[in-house]
Structure 1
Amino acid sequence: MKKFLFVITLLLSLTVNAQKKPLQPTGLMMENIEYPFAVKRLPLKIQGQDLQMAYMDLVPKKPNGKIVMLLHGKNFPAMYWEETAKDLSKDGYRVIMPDQIGFGKSSKPGNIQYTFQLLAQNTKALLDTLKIEKVNVVGHSMGGMLATRFSLMYPQTVEKLVLENPIGLEDWKTVVPYQSVDEWYESELKQDYKKMKEYQLKFYYDNDWDSDYDKWLLPVAGWTVNKEYAVIAKSAALTYDMIFTQPVCYEFKNLTMPVLLIIGQRDRTALGKAKAPKEVQETLGNYPELGKQTARKIENCRLAEIEGAGHLPHIEVYNKFIGPLKEFLK
C-alpha cells in the first residue's frame, strides 16, 4: 500500500512539474512585455551614443491640473506603478512613468558612466519635452535616490517629493568593502529566477510569496535566459556601482520642498550587507530607525510608518500606501 501511494505521489509531482511553463526570455528592451499604458520614447544622445528613454504618460479624463512623476527602483521597470497610476489618474492627476536608461523598455548601454546626475538630467529632458514645468515626484528604492538628486538639482520644478522606502538613507561605503564593477558583473551573470525570488521573498515579502508578485518578477527574471543577458548584467553592474558610490544621505538637509517619507517597517535592505563585518551587518538597513533619522534631517518632512510592510509597500500593502500618498498630494 505504501509503495502504491509513493508511486501515485511521484506521478502527481511529475505531472505538476511537466505542466510548469519554462521561463520565457525577455527582450533586451522588453519588446515582448506588455505595459499597462501606451509607451512612448524620447531619443537621447548620451556620451556619444544614440539611446532611447521609454516612458508612459497617463492623461486623466478629468484633469485636476496636477502632475505626478513615478520613479522606479532598481529591480523593477516602471510597469509596477500600474495600480498607483490608475488610482491617481482617477483623482485627476496626469501621471508620468519613465524607464530610466538601462532599465525596462529603455536602451541598455553597457559602456556609459552612470550617475544620478545623468539620470536626473535625462528625466528633466523628458519633462522639458512634455512642456511640464511643475511636478510632484514619487521615488521608490533606487528611484528614491534619483528623486532626491532630481529635487536637489531642480528644486524649482518639484512641488512635493515622496520617498517610498528609498535606498541610500545611509552611506554603505563607510562600512562595506568596495565591490568593483567586474565583481558586480560576475555576480549578475549568475542570477536566475530562483535566486531573484529567494532574495525578494526574504527581504521584500517576509517569506510570504503571493503569486501576484510574479507579475513584476518574471519580466526581469526573463532577461537571465536571453542569449544576450550579458548586456543586461553589465548595465546592472554599472548601476550598482552608481548606487554604492553616490550617496544622497548627506544632502537631505538641503531639500526645500515638502517631503513625505513612506517607510515599510519590516524593510532591512542594504547594498552589500553580506560583505560587511558580521558585527555590522545587523545594524544596516534598519528602516524604522533610518526613517526617523532622515525625517529629522529634512526641514519640512512628514513620516508615514507602515507596519506589516517591507521594501515594497505599494505592492505588498497597497491600501496602506495609497492613503498617505493621496493625503500628502492634496
Structure 2
Amino acid sequence: MRKRLVAVLLAALAMSSSQLRADPYLADFTYPYPVQRFDFRSQEQDLWMSFMDVAAARPNGRTVVLLHGKNFCGATWEGVVPALSDAGYRVVVPDQVGFCRSAKPRAYQFSLHQLAANTHALLEHLRVETPIVLGHSMGGMLAMRYALMYPADTGALVLVNPIGLEDWKAKGVPLATVDELFAKEKKTTRESIKMYQQKVYYDGKWKPEYDRWVDMLASMYLGKDGDLVAWNQALTTDMVLSQPVIYEVDKIKVPTLLLIGMKDTTALGKDRAPPEAAKSLGNYAALAPAVAKRIEGSSLVTFNDLGHSPQVEDRARFNAALLKGLEALPAAAKR
C-alpha cells in the first residue's frame, strides 16, 4: 500500500513538474548557445525568428546555416555546432516561424517558399553571404527550396535525411484538411512522440539521451497555449504534404552533399495510406541514391546502421563525415 502511495505521489509530482515546464516558446528549455531575436514584417503582421549565431573558433571565412526538422528545433543541433565552430565555420541556427522559440501566428500562409524567404531575410540582416545551407528532415526540404530560390546566394547544399524525396500523395497518401490534421495534433502526448520516433526514426531502438528531445517537443503541447502549437504544427504539416520539391531536384545547381541514415522510414501521412502503399513509403535506402543521381555532381554518404537523425544517433561519426564532406566541396563553394 505504501509503495503504491509513493508511486502515485511521484507520478503526480512528475505531472506537476511537466506542467510547470510547459511553454509554447520553450522558455524553460536550455539552448546550447545564446538565443537572439530577429523581428520582421511578414504577411501584414509583426513576427520574429529566434536564432543562435555562433562564432568560429578560428574563422575560415565560411558560414553554415543549420535548418531544423518539423519535430526538432535549432537546439537539436547542439552536437554539430561545436564541431563546425572548431573547424572554422561561423554557424547560424534559426528556429523557423511556427516552431520552437519563434513566432507562432494564429493565421499565416505557410509555404516552403515563405520560410526560405524569411531565412534569407535573416541572413541578409546578419550580413551572411553565400552560406552553406544544411537542412535535416523538413529542414532538408526547406534547404532544397532555398537553393532553388537563391542559387547565387547558396555556397553549397547539405541534406541530412531530408523528407520529401518522394511525392506521398502520388504514392497513395490521401489528402487531409487542416482541421483533421489539427485534431490529430491535439492528441499528441510525450508517449506518442516517443513511440513514433522510436519506430520511424531509430529503427525500433532507443537511447536515454533521446528523451531530452522528446521532452522538448512534448513540453510545447502542454499548458493553456498547447493548442497554438498544435495549430501551427497542423499548418506546417499541410505545407509539407502539399508542396513537394522532388519534381524540381534536377534544377539544383549548387554543390550538394547528402548524409543519409539508411534505416530511416519517415513518410508523412503513412498512417493514412492503404497498407500496401504504406509499405513502400519512406524507403531511404532506395530514395537517397535515386535523388543523388538526379542532382548533378552531388555526393552521397550513407550510414547503413543509422536512421532519421544520424547527427543525434552517432555524433562523432556524423561530424567526421560532415567535415570531410565540406572540405571535399568544390572551391567555389568555399568562398
2:306 aligned residue: 309
By how many angstroms is 1:322 displaced?
A: 1.4
Of 122, 129, 137, the match for 2:133: 137
Are positions 1:273 and 2:273 aligned together?
no
User: Are the counterparts in 1 of residues 98 and 105 from structure 2 also a CA contact under 8 Å?
Assistant: yes
By how many angstroms is 1:52 displaced?
A: 0.8
By how many angstroms is 1:176 displaced?
A: 1.0
**Unmatched 5+ residue regions in structure 1?**
1-6
By how many angstroms is 1:16 displaced?
A: 5.6
User: Are the counterparts in 1 of residues 24 and 219 from structure 2 also a CA contact under 8 Å?
Assistant: no
What SS does structure 2 have at the residue aligned with 1:173? coil
Of 107, 110, 113, the match for 2:103: 107
Task: Give the greater-gyration-radius structure (CA).
Answer: 1
User: Are the counterparts in 2 of residues 26 and 220 from structure 1 also a CA contact under 8 Å?
Assistant: no
* RMSD of aligned Cα (Å): 1.4
d(CA) in 2 for partners of 1:66, 1:89: 10
**Residue identity in the other structure for 2:99:** F
1:32 aligned residue: 28
By how many angstroms is 1:256 displaced?
A: 0.8
2:210 aligned residue: 213
d(CA) in 2 for partners of 1:110, 1:76: 20
Question: Where does 1:210-289 land on structure 2 (aligned, <5 Å)?
Answer: 210-289=207-286
What SS does structure 1 have at the residue aligned with 2:260? strand
Question: Where does 1:162-181 land on structure 2 (aligned, <5 Å)?
Answer: 162-174=158-170, 175-181=172-178
- Could you list the per-position Cα deviations for residues 188-210 of structure 1 after superposition, in whole angstroms to 9, with x for gaps in the alignment? 01111111111111111222221
By how many angstroms is 1:107 displaced?
A: 0.5
User: Are the counterparts in 2 of residues 253 and 297 from structure 1 also a CA contact under 8 Å?
Assistant: yes
d(CA) in 1 for partners of 2:220, 2:292: 37
By how many angstroms is 1:302 displaced?
A: 0.7
By how many angstroms is 1:137 displaced?
A: 0.9
By how many angstroms is 1:135 displaced?
A: 0.3
State how many pairs are aligned.
321
Which segment drifts farther, 28-37 or 102-111?
Answer: 28-37
1:65 aligned residue: 61
d(CA) in 2 for partners of 1:261, 1:325: 9
Question: Where does 1:291-310 land on structure 2 (aligned, <5 Å)?
Answer: 291-310=288-307
- Could you list the per-position Cα deviations for residues 135-190 of structure 1 after superposition, in whole angstroms to 9, with x for gaps in the alignment? 00110000000000000000111111110000000001112110111000000011
d(CA) in 1 for partners of 2:106, 2:291: 33
By how many angstroms is 1:15 displaced?
A: 4.3
By how many angstroms is 1:110 displaced?
A: 2.3
**Unmatched 5+ residue regions in structure 2?**
328-335
- Give me the TM-score of the superposition, normalised by structure 1: 0.94
Are positions 1:326 and 2:323 aligned together?
yes
Are positions 1:95 and 2:108 aligned together?
no
Of 36, 41, 48, the match for 2:44: 48
User: Are the counterparts in 1 of residues 26 and 219 from structure 2 also a CA contact under 8 Å?
Assistant: no
**Residue identity in the other structure for 1:202:** K
What SS does structure 2 have at the residue aligned with 1:89? helix
By how many angstroms is 1:320 displaced?
A: 2.5
By how many angstroms is 1:319 displaced?
A: 2.3
d(CA) in 2 for partners of 1:123, 1:16: 47
**Residue identity in the other structure for 1:326:** L
1:186 aligned residue: 183
- Give me the TM-score of the superposition, normalised by structure 2: 0.93
By how many angstroms is 1:227 displaced?
A: 1.1
- Could you list the per-position Cα deviations for residues 245-286 of structure 1 after superposition, in whole angstroms to 9, with x for gaps in the alignment? 000001111111111111111111111111111111111100
d(CA) in 1 for partners of 2:5, 2:120: 53
1:4 aligned residue: none
What SS does structure 1 have at the residue aligned with 2:152? coil
What SS does structure 2 have at the residue aligned with 1:29? coil
**Residue identity in the other structure for 2:179:** D
d(CA) in 1 for partners of 2:208, 2:102: 27
d(CA) in 1 for partners of 2:147, 2:27: 31
User: Are the counterparts in 1 of residues 113 and 145 from structure 2 also a CA contact under 8 Å?
Assistant: yes
